[in-house]
Chain A
Amino acid sequence: MSVGIVRLLNLFSICIMCAVMLTGCWDRIEVNDVAFVLGTAVDKEGSEIRTTVQIALPGQLGGAGSQGGGGGTSGSKPWYLESKPGLSIRDSNENEQFSLSRKENYSHRRILLFGEDLAKDGIGKYLDVLARIPQNRLSSFVLVTRGPASKVISTNVATEKFPAEMIREIMKQSMKKPRTIKHLANALLTEGLDPVLPVVTPDKSAPGNDGPPEDTIRLDGIAVFNHDKCTGFLTGKMAQAVVIAMNQAKDPEIVVPMPGDNGYLFVRLHTTDVSLRPSIKGDSVSVLIKVAADSTILENESNYALTSPESIAKLERMIEDDINSEITEAFRKLQKYHSDALGVGKTIHDVKPKEWDKLKNRWNTIYPSIDVAVQTRVVVENTGAVLKPFARKDGQLKYD
């Protein structure tokens, strides 16, 4: 290595130092200058919207190093809500920034809540900012709330540190693939498919005699959309049936009333598979929903002993009938709400593209009147650890 190269290196390092030190492009942000937004609630407020952001307060988290420095009132919440109205999500976030000493950072936002009113007006136009700024993650879960979203996000839950965390964990149980912003955008862009979003609502726990009830958040069915407008809410068994038919149900549990009014039997469908078979004759469209499921018996209150293959087969038929009727009923509801949540149109588009070309402009009017048939095949794979009902004398059991 000669003097020349050393001089070159010196020159190079001087250039680097100048570029780094003098230009002021120093975009370093220390962690203690960042406000981590954990969740955003978007609500309608007159002609404007209002966003409420939930910001983590690391100083209240009780980290090992922060014992000395905290200084806040002890026992206070580790989160903080900032809410401002604005013309758009970005605008209201900007308004919030004026009253925040730390820079808002959206990369750890896990949930995005749309209030009921806003969802009914349509959510399509709010999605742009979520993709345009990379800090916003497309993998955030997106939900609709019953009532204003800000009320849900401000619920002081007991089981998690942050309400946003609570909602996220609930969401994980809601579907096989919990709906994210990506899924939402995908459903909006796909022909013949309407989005479905889970619904959460504030709730009270333990309304018993011991002490005051605590605030909590409850998963409360699904919101069904016609394109980007929420047209209705489904709860309970209806919601579950839609989710099963969407092939998104995560270990759904079916209650089967046993004949003779002597109790219920609970099964978990641990694997489900759904396929749609549309058939088109002229203008009349019908769809066959085929459901295949393997199930596990979780609880048998009745006195039926499930010891023989015949009795299991009989049980399977009962479960199948139950699912068939529920899905049929739920599909009628979807038709009423003009929401093609299962993607019947998409299936026609996929398997019969030519017919779809003829139908697609009128799909919105055809859809509410199409025929549906459900064909379910359930296999009881696992009866649990016991075959006969547990702790019952043999004489009480029914063996057919």
Chain B
Amino acid sequence: MSYKVKKILSSSKNNKKQTDPPKALLGLPSPPILEMNLQEDLEQNKAALKELFADCSDMVYRDVNVEEGRPAFLAYIEGIADANSIKDHMLRPIIIGLIREETEEDYEPIDLKRISLPQVSRASTWKEVSEALLSSSAVLLVDGSKEALSFNVKLGVRRGVEEPQTESVIRGPREGFTETLRVNTALLRFKIKTPSLKMAGMVIGKQTKTDIVLCYIEGLADEKIVQEARKRLKNIDIDGVLESGYIEELIEDNPYSPFPQMQYTERPDTVAAQLLEGRFAILIDGTPFALIAPVSLAQLLQASEDYYERFFIATLIRWLRYTFILIALFLPGLYIAVTTFHHDMVPTTLMLSIAAARESIPFPAIVEALMMEVSFEALREAGVRLPKTVGQAVSILGALVIGQAAVQAGIVSAPMVIVVSLTGIASFTIPKFNLAITVRMLRFTVMILAAVFGMFGIIIGVIWIAVHMVQLKSFGVPYLSGLTPYQPRSFKDILVRVPWWSMIDRPSWVDNDDRKRMKEGMTSSTKQPDEGW
């Protein structure tokens, strides 16, 4: 901040009430200009603005004359503001002089009612001006006016709506959220056409000023939970929010739990379904991932397609997932426990073939298992970060080196390869990636417990996990809700997925008046023959 500008600005009388010292925010002193009001003198304003945005090469400044040669000054940030809109709706009408107000008593150089842009507002402080500029507005400063005019000329879409990369379905909508918040809210509005769908906006991040929207359906969502979410969001004081993960970690109930307490999704239909079940969602500008809470473990094991396919297969697939999450969590641990402690737990012939395969293996089972699991994790990590074309090479290398060479060289036994690959497959069946991460982490704990204490260790691990999950809550809702507290009514969407026509009640954990999701007896088998035919 140069001395000269300070001097210019301090000559204003209006600055006297703005004398409170600039607040230090996270060690960064905010520029004092932001605390000040605009002046009447255009030259002063111009200098102040240029000082504020010094060294910002993407700023565009333009001197224009409005009515009767009155000097004015237009500024916007190139790239985030739409130059075409500025040209058509601002520069041209201003220069041609279409927007002069003709009344005698209150002379206004520009009549906002005649500007053909939907969002126009006035700004009287530099703070407002900079915020307007940074959120894609063009700002016009007119000589003799203490107010700047800001015109929202936000460029529409950054990336088109594409198929979500992380959650693909065979049957179901193909659209996914994008990085643009308003596109995302629109995608939700397309699906839920009711004014009860509330989208409470807020801005988080002192530097990033990220727009965040808290979505819920009034009357379906639990008012207390929405209030709690609002409170937690309000309490966030951070310099920047670049992804939903920032928010998730800042507002989750138990930050030390390995279990995810919020669901994230790229799919508008998933968000809509959860809103209809009384949950709330948080949309964050700049990321295609929306957060959903409160969640339960059962919910994290559901995929959106469960509700799109017919209920038989949906139920079977659900049980497949339940089986495989247990395999993903416990199989390597069980294998270690059985081969190092409990040789009596396996049928004889199986034990003998395991023994035959392990005959010449130089390592104990735990070392073997850790080697394989760690290299599997490394392979996966390598595959995720690499470009797709190189990723294939990695997988071939992994299959050859680990799958075959290691077994043939007698370093790793074939049953261990089966166990590790089955575990790997099993962890891929978990539909939510954040839960899969949890299972991956806990698997290693279980393996070490199994190697040290055998089956007792596994049982200790099970008890540990169970106790933790029982006390875990997501926005006040028990993590195992449905199973414990025991609510047989919610089994219809946990143990099985009942057909839509019998999914009459909403989930029982949410406290609201609107209990019924649909009219009873909607299946055609209960209709009278003369009714619809």
Contact = CB atoms under 8 A, between A and B. Distances in A.
A1 B256 contact: yes
A69 B359 contact: yes
Nearest to A68: B410
Interface in A292-308: none
Contacts of B358: 30-32, 58, 65
B365 interface: yes
Given A32-B355, A56-B355, A58-B355, A108 B348 contact: yes
B505 to A, nearest CB: 38
Given A36-B351, A65-B361, A59 B344 contact: no
B354 A30 contact: no
B346 to A, nearest CB: 9
Contacts of A129: none
Nearest to A56: B352
A66 interface: yes
Interface string A63-77: 111101110000000
B343 A63 contact: no
Contacts of B343: 29, 31, 34, 36, 105, 107-108
Interface string A18-58: 00100000011111101010100000000000000000101
A28 B413 contact: no
B207 interface: no
Interface string B234-276: 0000000000000000000001100000000000000000000
A58 B256 contact: no
A36 B355 CA distance: 10
B348 A38 contact: yes
B452 interface: yes
Contact of A30 (B255, B348, B352, B364): B364
Contacts of A107: 343-344
A377 interface: no
Interface in B307-346: 339-341, 343-344
A34 B354 CA distance: 12
Contacts of B355: 31-32, 34, 36, 56, 58, 61, 63
A330 to B, nearest CB: 35
Interface string A209-239: 0000000000000000000000000000000
Interface in B456-500: none
B339 A30 contact: yes
A36 B357 contact: no
Interface string A224-262: 000000000000000000000000000000000000000
A20 B454 CA distance: 12
Given A34-B355, A36-B351, A63-B414, A28 B340 contact: yes
Contacts of A69: 359-360, 410
Interface string B39-58: 00000000000000000000
Nearest to B364: A30
Contacts of A62: 356
Scoring A28, A36, A38, A135 by chain B CB atoms within 10 A of each residue's CB, the highest score goes to A28
A338 interface: no
Contacts of B256: 1
B344 A32 contact: no
A31 B355 CA distance: 6
Interface in A105-150: 105, 107-108, 110, 135, 137
B353 interface: yes
Contacts of A34: 343, 355
B359 A59 contact: yes
B429 to A, nearest CB: 27
Contacts of A36: 343, 348, 351-352, 355
Contacts of B339: 30-31
Contacts of A1: 255-256
B344 A65 contact: no
Q: Give the secondary structure class of A's interface.
A: loop
Contact of B341 (A27, A58, A66, A110): A27
Scoring B353, B355, B360, B407 by chain A CB atoms within 10 A of each residue's CB, the highest score goes to B355
A108 B342 CA distance: 11
Contact of B351 (A20, A64, A108, A135): A108
Given A30-B339, A31-B343, A66 B353 contact: no
Interface residues of B, number: 29
Contacts of B353: 58, 61, 63
A67 to B, nearest CB: 8
Interface string B352-387: 111111111100110000000000000000000000
Contacts of B365: 30-31
A66 B360 CA distance: 6
Nearest to B415: A65
A27 B414 CA distance: 25
A63 B365 CA distance: 17
Contacts of B410: 65, 68-69
A69 B411 CA distance: 11
Contact of A58 (B352, B364, B407, B451): B352
A65 B354 CA distance: 9
A30 B364 CA distance: 7
A66 B452 contact: no
Nearest to B351: A108
A132 B408 CA distance: 42
B344 A135 contact: yes
Nearest to B344: A107
Contact of B407 (A30, A59, A64, A137): A64
A58 B358 CA distance: 9
A137 B344 CA distance: 10
A61 B343 CA distance: 18
A189 to B, nearest CB: 25
B359 A63 contact: yes
B452 A61 contact: no
B340 A30 contact: yes
A63 B355 CA distance: 8
Contacts of B348: 36, 38, 108, 110
Given A62-B356, A108-B348, A29 B340 contact: yes
A20 B355 CA distance: 26
B418 to A, nearest CB: 10
B340 A58 contact: no
Contacts of B361: 32, 65
Contacts of A30: 339-340, 358, 364-365
Given A32-B358, A34-B355, A108-B348, A64 B414 contact: yes
A66 B344 contact: no
A29 B452 CA distance: 12
A65 B352 contact: no
A66 B414 CA distance: 10
Contacts of A59: 356, 359-360
Nearest to B346: A108
A137 B348 CA distance: 13
A69 B414 CA distance: 14
Contacts of A64: 357, 407, 414
Contacts of B357: 63-66
Interface string A83-118: 000000000000000000000010110100000000
Given A30-B364, A63-B353, A65-B356, 10 more contacts: A29-B341, A32-B355, A38-B348, A58-B353, A65-B358, A65-B359, A65-B360, A66-B356, A107-B343, A108-B352
23 contacts: A28-B364, A30-B339, A30-B340, A31-B355, A31-B365, A32-B358, A32-B361, A36-B343, A36-B352, A58-B352, A58-B355, A63-B356, A64-B357, A65-B356, A65-B358, A65-B410, A65-B414, A66-B356, A68-B360, A68-B408, A105-B344, A108-B344, A135-B344
Interface of B: 255-256, 339-341, 343-344, 348, 351-361, 364-365, 407-410, 413-414, 451-452
- Shortest Cβ-Cβ A-B pairs, 9 listed: A69-B360, A63-B356, A107-B344, A58-B355, A58-B356, A61-B356, A65-B357, A63-B357, A108-B348
